[in-house]
A and B are shown apart, each in its own frame.
Chain A
Amino acid sequence: MRRITSAVIQKAVAELCIKANMQLRPDVLAALKAAYRREKKPRAKDILGAIIKNATLARRENLAICQDTGLPCVFVELGDNVRITGELNAAINKGVEIGYKKGYLRNSIVKDPLSRRGSGYQPAIIHLDLVRGSNLRLTVLPKGFGCENKSRLRMFLPTANIEQIKQFIIASVKEAGPDACPPYVVGVGIGGTADFACLLAKKALLGKITSNQHRAASIKHTLEQDLLSAINKLNIGPMGLGGKTTCLGVNIQTHPTHIAGLPVAINISCHALRSATKRL
């Protein structure tokens, strides 16, 4: 049995919060640069240029990429051969608070969703998966709410066809329009239950967005490619002011589901898709 102390977890989470908020993911930055090269429309090119410059400046000056430092979502993959000494949830939440304070990152959490009273740095949204092995893998995804507000779920009939699913996803992006900081990354969760599909959609955002073309041919892969090209034809463009670049990538995760249903969830990310991972 391998032992990991809560102090080690707390420190790792604090570092990940700062890293995720200040250093744009390499795959996202590469996708933005490729889009900049492709884009012909001067306004779209200018905005993509500003987005790339912003990422460079944030990294150099230790500033948040976006003032919406998000609701910190923490994904934990805990090996079954690991024993944690101390309290895992408390360590994560304390780590988030320390990281956000140390990084001068905005506290965007309101304690009571109804009265809207009480602000703070935590609690984070924590997802725990038990896996085989002797490692603990931590991922922090600070999720901005401009784009989180555009999340959608639809429970399709099990007899629905791919085209109907495609149209639902494209319509959801169209509805988000210029509001949620395009170009977007679209996470899609298909299968499981209603809640599980939503989680899959969010987890899909953690996958690299540039690795799609190397994947083996499958229904899922084809759907990702088709959606990417269909969404980029919407002419929403950077900041919604038109252009070829509405979407940087589409990632789909699937899971077995019930014979009576077909849940499809969408979690859209703005161009500032931020996440950082550390294996302990």
Chain B
Amino acid sequence: MKRIATPFENKQILGLRAGDNVLLTGIIYTARDQAHKRLSECINQKKRPPIDLIGGVIYYCGPNPAPKERIIGSCGPTTSSRMDEFSPILLKAGLSGMIGKGRRSKEVIRAIKKYRAVYFLTYAGCGALLSDYVKKVKLAAYPELGPEAIYRLEVKGFPLIVGVDSRGYDVY
């Protein structure tokens, strides 16, 4: 079991291999379909994105509202391939890590290799379990998107499997 923390350093990313079990501690940002569309438009128009992408980690997740006495509801990963169209743009802009479920396109894998990034998988369909690893939640951008808004999550020991490593090796 490897442990990593954000912000990622190059050395940390380069040491990861597809299939490794990893525990992540630090800051991750939730973003799914519509947030990706907006972030990409932002970058393409040379505007500053509302979150700091450089060295950052994006989690493909639309969490459930927090029930009483909890800080977040169920918050598992959504299907990564729907973000494939946008990921190369975000990676070029400095994004270091992505967390989701399922396969990535050839273009995304190529971009992961080119920009020395990493794609992680996490327990799919286990949103209740994963909510236990989230320690703090803050709305970060696009509140009007409702469940698709960007949230800043502070996580501790969040369980991951390396899906695509920085050399472009794919666990699938």
Write the nearest CB–CB distance from B28 to chain A, whole angstroms.
15
Closest residue of B by beta carbon distance from A182: B124
Contact B146 A180 (CB under 8 A): no
Number of interface residues of A (CB under 8 A): 38
Contact string against A for B residues 42-67, beta-carbon threshold 8 Å, 1 for contact and 0 otherwise:
00000000000000000001111111
Contact A180 B73 (CB under 8 A): no
List which B71-99 residues lie within 8 A (CB) of chain A.
73-76, 78-81
Cα distance, A258 to B125, chains bound together (Å): 39
With beta carbons under 8 angstroms apart, the residue of A67, A108, A179, A241 that contacts B127 is A67
Number of interface residues of B (CB under 8 A): 37
Q: Does A106 contact B (CB under 8 A)?
A: yes
Write the nearest CB–CB distance from B66 to chain A, whole angstroms.
7
List which A152-211 residues lie within 8 A (CB) of chain B.
177-181
Q: Does B34 contact A (CB under 8 A)?
A: yes
Known: A57-B129, A66-B127, A181-B125. Contact between A240 and B172, CB under 8 A? yes
Contact A179 B125 (CB under 8 A): no
Contact A177 B103 (CB under 8 A): yes
Cα distance, A180 to B101, chains bound together (Å): 8
Known: A47-B123, A106-B65, A179-B101. Contact between A53 and B74, CB under 8 A? no
List which A122-174 residues lie within 8 A (CB) of chain B.
146, 149
Contact B171 A241 (CB under 8 A): yes
Which residue among A64, A149, A270 has the maximum number of chain B CB atoms within 10 Å of its CB? A64
Q: Does B118 contact A (CB under 8 A)?
A: no
Contact B147 A119 (CB under 8 A): yes
With beta carbons under 8 angstroms apart, the residue of A53, A64, A67, A272 that contacts B61 is A67
Contacts of A57 in B (CB 8 A): 128-129, 132
Cα distance, A64 to B125, chains bound together (Å): 10
Contacts of A116 in B (CB 8 A): 34
With beta carbons under 8 angstroms apart, the residue of A50, A180, A181 that contacts B129 is A50
List which B120-139 residues lie within 8 A (CB) of chain A.
121, 123-129, 131-132
Contacts of A270 in B (CB 8 A): 124-125
Q: Does A112 contact B (CB under 8 A)?
A: no
Contact B79 A108 (CB under 8 A): no
Cα distance, A81 to B61, chains bound together (Å): 46
B residues bordering A, Cβ < 8 Å?
34, 61-67, 70, 73-76, 78-81, 101-103, 121, 123-129, 131-132, 145-147, 159, 161, 171-172
Known contacts A53-B129, A57-B132, A63-B128; 15 further A-B pairs (Cβ under 8 A)? A47-B123, A62-B67, A64-B127, A64-B128, A66-B125, A67-B61, A67-B78, A104-B65, A106-B65, A106-B74, A107-B146, A116-B34, A180-B79, A240-B103, A241-B161
